[in-house]
Structure 1
Amino acid sequence: MTDVRDLDEQVRIAHTWQLDASELAAVRALMDEAFEGDFDDEDWDHGLGGVHALLWRDGVLAAHGAVVQRRLVHGGRALRAGYVEAVAVREELRRQGYGAAVMRALEPVLRGAYEVAALSAADDAAAFYEALGWVRWQGPTSALTPQGVERTEEDDDSTYVLPLSAPLALDGELVCDWRDGDVW
């Protein structure tokens, strides 16, 4: 097992504009592999335009995560949210600390720039995020669509937050801004 401190020291933080074409191609390839073909162009777009954490091993991208800015509405306020996207680890390196190292590297970005952090977790990743201090949203989720606010019941159980500076009532409604593809 790799020493966690060694992994933490190897994570590179960079904004999308700082990644060259080969690095972006490596990120996309990792997403395609990790999500077994269930990562489309809209998902790819969701992970761009923010801050990336990249962890390489032997010249191959081992793990990645990104934070992009979004707006979440809660308690009558539009909150500046750091939304975590495109978190993946190569299959043979899972459960060895790579994903946690990427998330630890992103946490100062979240704490330094946002009022709340949020993400949508697959069922098999819930325990991973909970172990890192993320909390499952207990209330209803919705999206501000071109037609108005619409419930997103299918996302109620997969939405997680990392409370930062904004007061949150975890059983209240949480509304995300609109985007193409998966809104959460």
Structure 2
Amino acid sequence: MTAPQVAHTSQLPASTLAASRALLDDAFDGEFADADWAHTLGGMHVLVWEGDALIGHAAVVQRGMLLGERPVRCGYVEGVGVRADRRGRGHGGALMAACERIVERAYDLGALSTSEEGAGLYLARGWRIWQGPTSVLAPGGIAATPEEDGGVFYWEAGLPLDPTEPLTCDWRGGDVW
């Protein structure tokens, strides 16, 4: 397996971004919306190639969060996908190892939201489930997101934290978590 490529959105050619979007559309069985794609842009992309074929993608984007009442800089993991015929070969782990290094070097903590299907990858790597209540800083103020409670995972990046505290994410279109 080749080492993942890591590059900022601004460093990637349009063809690589198009290949990344197509890979994620396939990996999410057509359920990867335009808003989901927008959430992956503007940060660091981690790409796994097999020759000229893109077979894996993940991104780490900066998001503002409130940990209790304390503002923190969060490296939020988005758009993790491996081509279906290449799954189970360690590519997802390689993507996440690179994402974890980015989070540890640049952010106060890492976070992500995943489906039940994806949870195993993150738990096996040491990501933990946020225990406290989640919310979003929406245009009308802080709004609880109880449907996300128990589905937000975190990665410690040196910031002392209590995972039972409330965690509030910044507002964005589409899925806020």
Q: Quote the sequence identity (%).
A: 48
TM, length-normalised to structure 2: 0.97
Runs of 4+ in structure 1 displaced over 4 angstroms? none
Match of 1:147 in 2: 140
1:118 and 2:111 are equivalent in the alignment: yes
- 1: CA distance, partners of 2:44 / 2:156: 19
Q: Deviations over 1:77-129 (max 9, x none)?
A: 11000000000001111111001001111222111100000000111111110
Letter in 2 for 1:171: T
- 2: CA distance, partners of 1:105 / 1:49: 17
Identify which of 3, 21, 24 aligns with 1:10. Answer: 3
1:167 and 2:160 are equivalent in the alignment: yes
* Superposition deviation, residue 25 in structure 1: 0.5
Between stretches 18-27 and 54-63, larger displacement belongs to: 54-63
1:132 and 2:125 are equivalent in the alignment: yes
1:90 and 2:83 are equivalent in the alignment: yes
* Superposition deviation, residue 154 in structure 1: 1.0
Q: Deviations over 1:139-165 (max 9, x none)?
A: 110000001000111111210000112
- 2: CA distance, partners of 1:164 / 1:101: 18
1:52 and 2:45 are equivalent in the alignment: yes
Letter in 1 for 2:129: R
Letter in 2 for 1:183: V
Kept after mapping to 2: 8 A contact 1:83/1:119: yes
Letter in 2 for 1:64: H
* Superposition deviation, residue 10 in structure 1: 2.4
- 1: CA distance, partners of 2:3 / 2:152: 29
Partner secondary structure for residue 162 of structure 1: strand
Kept after mapping to 2: 8 A contact 1:11/1:105: yes
Letter in 1 for 2:90: G
Letter in 2 for 1:154: E
- RMSD of equivalent CA atoms: 0.9
Kept after mapping to 2: 8 A contact 1:84/1:117: yes
Partner secondary structure for residue 124 of structure 1: helix
Letter in 1 for 2:68: G
Kept after mapping to 1: 8 A contact 2:136/2:171: yes
Match of 2:56 in 1: 63
Match of 1:4 in 2: none
TM, length-normalised to structure 1: 0.93
1:177 and 2:174 are equivalent in the alignment: no
Kept after mapping to 2: 8 A contact 1:140/1:173: yes
Letter in 1 for 2:168: V
